[in-house]
Chain A
Amino acid sequence: MSSAVTLHEAGTHHAGHDVHHDHHHQSFISKYVFSMDHKTIAKQFLVTGIIWAIIGGLFSVIFRLQLGYPEATFPFLEDFLGHWAKGGKLQPEFYYALVTMHGTVLVFFVLTAGLSGTFANFLIPLQIGARDMASPLLNMLSYWFFFIASVIMMSSLFVQTGPASGGWTIYPPLSALGDASIGSKIGMDLWLVSMAMFIVSSLLGGLNYITTILNMRTKGMSMTRMPLTIWALFFTAVLGVLSFPVLLSGAILLLFDRNLGTSFFLSDIVVAGKILPNEGGSAILFQHLFWFLGHPEVYIILLPAMGMASEILSVNSRKPIFGYMAMVASLFAITILAFLVWAHHMFVTGMNPFLGSIFVLLTLLIAVPSAIKVFNWLTTLWRGNIRFTPGMMFAIGFVSLFISGGLTGIFLGNSALDIHLHDTYFVIAHFHIVMGVASFFGMFAGIYHWYPKMFGTYMNNTLSYIHFWVTIIGAYLIFWPMHYEGLAGMPRRYYDYSNWESFKMFGGLNEFISVVAMIVFAAQLLFVINFFYSIWKGRKVTTLNPWNANTLEWTTPIRPGHGNWPGEIPEVHRWAYDYSKDGKDFIPQDVPVGADESKH
């Protein structure tokens, strides 16, 4: 912390001497590295997130090779992975490490930090009319704790015993005992320490977002005039601040069990022929602590995507979002329910059946606000005048995926069916579609939509459209057939199915899925190329408001400086969704209400 402050002071010190520049001039380090400008921090989160996404995606490509071609050897793997792929054959230990790291990286580092870190930082001050976050310093620290977490997690890939390999849910005793799994040696300690840093980052960010939204809205920006993106990011922050500390406590207790000989999660264990002295702990207790974060985490990932999709659908349909208050209310309902459903991940742990029934009821209740959102999005499109900008394409794709993945949640939330489908490919299909791919679509929609504001340039349209169509078709080709594997009871997290009479008939399908996964991964590289190329070489933005949108960020200069608005912050006179009202295509939020304007 102190070093960061010093660096910032160094920046201002430097500026004081440099009389040729105005007082905004900053050194490279304070402008791009230890920046306190929310826009720069957002870009730092985004770029780090993209790098993690490539790494996490690559993990999945490698383990899909094993699943698609369990008999084959790939000598080039040995060149990269050494003894983890002896003779070109991925070892089971490393297969499980890849599966674990794929989940960890994508859930936490990409779709939590990369998604809400980017857009909460970028959009909150710009859309509510604030010059920066409530605490730019905490905001900067939030990124740098994330960076430290990233470095630690990355380093765990290079330790001799390999990274954590007990699944991203790190259930003890597997994750607690180095004798039970090689990944539970030093790799697991690094995982836990990295997550502790990550949680600090997430809390610093979340507190800042909540404070900023509650206190720093510009004149006239009442809560009910906020764009839905801000509502969604607000509820996301609330979820994170209230649930991440519980995971932190679980992680610390697990560290104690691992290193100090406590027995929070351990009891009656014989491992590798050794009788452990631990008695009286409960392995299930950890699952309660984990899922008390783990389930809200799903919505931490999903809500920002919902908010951005709502905004983008409305702008490009040239119509107000349908049922604004219902949209806010359903976000609120999802936030509350998110805290009350965690044990639906634990229906087969032998839980009290009555307790299970309560969780069934509360879980399926979430379908109601979700249904409201879907129908409201559909009605927003109805009788619109739709422009298929790349952002809009991904927003429509988001709705499609959210429907598909949401509906399979009705199977899994119903405990009697969950017993059969639990931990099968049906679950993989469900959560990848509804949480993984759908949230990625929300993130892509946001990137394409706000790219002109972030960098002052456009991304290439043709590449964007190719990216969209390959990704949505590919995502369905990958995950749709997995439902059938799940209905056949095929368990997840298996290294090889060929010795199982009940599951070996899916070998051909697994190969097909692996091929599509590689193509889709390649299409994402196309996006990455487009993203970085366009920062410098993209078509320049020449108008202040390229999408003709109502929200405040488009009233700033094309490339806004620190402080966002050069003059006064505009005053807000209306909600963000006056599209096609009274024959006018759009009426920005800072336009005063005319005397003859109709009321809705």
Chain B
Amino acid sequence: MKELFLVAIVIMIFVVIFQIAKASEYVSVLKGEEKTRKQNNRINGFMMITVLVLGMIGVWYCNHLYYGKTLFTQGSASVEGVQIDNMLYITIAVTGFIFVVTQILLFWFAFKYQETDKRKAFYFPHNTKLELIWTTIPAIVLTVLVVFGLKHWFLITGDAPKDSVVVEITGHQFGWEMRYPGKDGVLGRKDYKLYNTPSGNSLGVDFEDPTSHDDLRISSDMHIPVGRPVKLVINSQDVIHDVGLPHFRLKMDAVPGIPTTLWFTPKYTTAQMKERTGNANFVYEISCDQMCGKGHFSMRGTIVVDTEADYKKWLDAQKPEYFTIYPDRDPTKQNQAADSSKMADKTVAAVMPIKK
């Protein structure tokens, strides 16, 4: 009922506008078409300048409303992102200036040079000097922006520092899983064909590779320490995903078959960010930024940035995946599991396809 009512109102509005428009056409015939045309011209000329003024006020008002909701106010949460923010500011200043000047010229010219019998248009087909000026100046401005942009681009996409904390992050429909290399600092080999959910080997880790034995698999928060470079090794199991880290000003696609990397240095712990933003619920979120299917919008990951001490504590509390899958090989449980050690080989055969 409510919908029918709404539809009726919309149709009514259409009919009214249409009738007014038709009537105005008859009026113009009565008044003389030339006279109506000139009147329309004056109205639209006036509208041009009005909309320019209101538009500029609107731009200011929009900024007033929403600037506080952008990430600028809380500052970049990564050391590298500070440079990105600075570049954003510079680019906004440059383009904002050009925007204001050109829009004012456009609407002001439209208003000022509207048709009048008193003036004849000025025949001005070209002027090489002017054209050279507005070819050269944009070229120079852009060169400056490109130089700064590429400096930051090479920094961000360059190799991660040697002492980086390495975390592997793997996307699948629709979630993230992390893997930490453990004490040896090396991630064990993976082969997607070893993927096996019943056994719990959902990342397809090759447990015949001894470097995998101390690797940690984490499916909840990703923990990283503050102030140390972090290198993410990014994988996907099915379609293309994207590790989006808005607070750190970074993102990188997760492509099946082609691992990618990304590195940054967290600047504030989660606790510090809660203070900075005044939001007790603040959390670093990983958003999937590449369309990946019906659950794309819910593919949320979270990062906890810890102090070095908290990070150590958290890390020590984790149990290697190897021992979760083969509990009988866990040295801490060796005593209870002594009997079952003979069974270990059988278990391996059960959960892993035979590799040549």
Chain A residues within CB distance 8 Å of chain B: 76, 92-93, 96, 165-167, 171-174, 177, 180-182, 266-271, 273, 275, 279-284, 317-326, 348-350, 353, 356-357, 360-361, 364-365, 367-368, 371-372, 374-376, 378-379, 381-388, 393, 396, 399-400, 403-404, 407-408, 410-411, 414-417, 419-420, 422-424, 460-463, 465-466, 469, 472-473, 476-477, 480-481, 484-485, 487-489, 491, 493-497, 499-503, 505-506, 509, 522, 525-526, 529-530, 539, 577, 579-583, 600
B69 and A488 within 8 A (CB): yes
Task: Give CA–CA (A324, B67) in the complex, Å.
Answer: 41
Q: Which of B90-142 contact A (CB under 8 A)?
A: 91, 94-95, 98-99, 102-103, 105-107, 109-110, 113-116, 119-127, 130-131, 134-135, 138-139, 142
Size bracket, chain B contacts: 35 or more
Which residues from chain B contact A360 at a C-beta distance below 8 Å? 146, 149-150, 153
Residue B209 at the chain A interface, CB threshold 8 Å: no
**Looking at A167, A400, A424, which has the most chain B CB atoms within 10 Å of its CB?**
A400
Which residues from chain B contact A496 at a C-beta distance below 8 Å? 297-298
A348 and B84 within 8 A (CB): no
Of the residues B157, B289, B297, contact of A423 by C-beta under 8 Å: B289
B149 and A501 within 8 A (CB): no
Query: A181 and B95 in contact (CB under 8 A), knowing A270-B192, A420-B249?
Result: no
A502 and B154 within 8 A (CB): no
A353 and B157 within 8 A (CB): yes
Task: Give CA–CA (A417, B76) in the complex, Å.
Answer: 13
A383 and B24 within 8 A (CB): no
Of the residues A172, A386, A424, contact of B114 by C-beta under 8 Å: A386
Of the residues B51, B204, B244, contact of A489 by C-beta under 8 Å: B244
Of the residues B25, B99, B123, B192, contact of A275 by C-beta under 8 Å: B192
Distance (whole angstroms) from the CB of A357 to the closest CB of chain B: 5
A320 and B135 within 8 A (CB): no
A386 and B110 within 8 A (CB): yes
Distance (whole angstroms) from the CB of A408 to the closest CB of chain B: 7
Which residues from chain A contact B103 at a C-beta distance below 8 Å? 400, 403-404
A367 and B142 within 8 A (CB): yes
Distance (whole angstroms) from the CB of B86 to the closest CB of chain A: 11
- Interface segment, B41-49, B216-224, B321-329? B41-49
B134 and A353 within 8 A (CB): no
Interface bits B134-165 vs A (CB < 8 Å: 1, else 0): 11001100100110011011101110000000
Task: Give CA–CA (A465, B51) in the complex, Å.
Answer: 14
A423 and B242 within 8 A (CB): yes
- Interface segment, B15-23, B181-189, B340-348? B15-23
Query: A488 and B257 in contact (CB under 8 A), knowing A173-B238, A181-B293, A353-B153?
Result: no
Distance (whole angstroms) from the CB of A194 to the closest CB of chain B: 20
The 9 sampled A-B contact pairs (Cβ below 8 Å) are A283-B257, A350-B255, A367-B138, A378-B102, A386-B45, A491-B288, A501-B283, A577-B125, A600-B123
Which residues from chain B contact A381 at a C-beta distance below 8 Å? 106, 109-110, 113
